[in-house]
Amino acid sequence: MKSHAQVVVIGGGCVGSGVLYGLAKAGLTDTLLIERNTLASGSSRLAGGFIPSYVRANTSSRIINRSIDIYRGLEGETGLSVGWHNCGQMRIARQRGRWDEYLSYMDSAPAIGAKARLISAEEVMELCPLYESPDGILGALLHPDDG
């Protein structure tokens, strides 16, 4: 094991691994990643591999959007599949307060780079035919880039 490094990253979850990836892409080679067990054995294992872009914080949104860009390009860059699946995400509103939240979110979505859009109850039915009826569905917030 190395006795010193120019940069030491503690935690091999999605953030720590992403930081180390960015440093390597920038040409830094004298680095070390320390993880208590195996990669992603901490809280990252609870994330289920889903990258949702529904946030209102500019910094978090930038991190998420950059992560999506990285995952989309990794297979082409490395020749190895990382299992990226661009499935999108649909958040269904059944209560007026939730629908109002999604309406409010749409004011900031373009500024944070989210390609979100609001869809009707009928569009929810088209995208998710498991719903038997649009009754009670006010609409939904659709994020096509989530994966």
Highest mean pLDDT among 34-38, 44-48, 122-126: 122-126
**Residue-wise pLDDT tens digits, 6-39:** 999 998 777 788 888 899 999 999 999 888 877 7
| CA quadruple 18, 22, 24, 29: dihedral sign | negative
Q: Is the pLDDT of residue 1 over 70?
A: no
Residue 60 has pLDDT above 60, yes or no: yes
pLDDT of the residue at 146: 86
Residue 49 confidence (pLDDT): 66
Q: How crowded is residue 145: how many other Cβ atoms within 10 Å of its Cβ? A: 20
Pairing between β-strand 7-10 and β-strand 31-34 as defined by DSSP bridges: parallel
Q: Half-sphere exposure of 125 toward its Cβ, with a 13 Å CA cutoff?
A: 10
Q: Give the amino acid at 88.
A: G
pTM over 0.75: no
